[in-house]
Amino acid sequence: MAWCHQCSADVTWSIDEEGNKVPLDDHEMRDSGPGRYRVIQSGTTPPQVARVPEEVAAMTLVDHRLICQVGRR
């Protein structure tokens, strides 16, 4: 487990389809909006994720960088 160095929230570092590191918030899920991901391979470290389009209504994990209250100031 890891944490945000700005606000100390729990995050899970993952890798998206382009090979970018994405910190997923461990306590936030959303069914709409930007910065959402679904896990496509969980048996790996870090987990592999795929971006979910904004128009798709599905409960998904959220990129912590978009919701961090400290980091957004």
**pLDDT recorded at residue 67:** 93
* pLDDT (0 to 100) of residue 8: 93
The CA distances from residue 21 to 56, 57, 63, 64, in Å, are 22, 24, 10, 12
- Domain coordinates in residue numbering, the chain: 2-67
Q: What is the pLDDT of residue 73?
A: 52
pLDDT in tens, 33-72: 999 999 999 887 899 999 999 999 999 999 999 999 886 6
| Size of the chain, expressed as the number of residues it contains | 73
Is residue 11 over pLDDT 60? yes
Report the run of H or E that residue 67 belongs to, with start and end. helix 64-67
Residue with the bigger pLDDT between 4 and 43: it is 4
Q: Using an 8 Å Cβ cutoff, are 29 and 38 in contact?
A: no
Q: Regarding beta strands 21-30 and 10-15, do their DSSP bridges make them parallel or antiparallel, or are they unpaired?
A: antiparallel
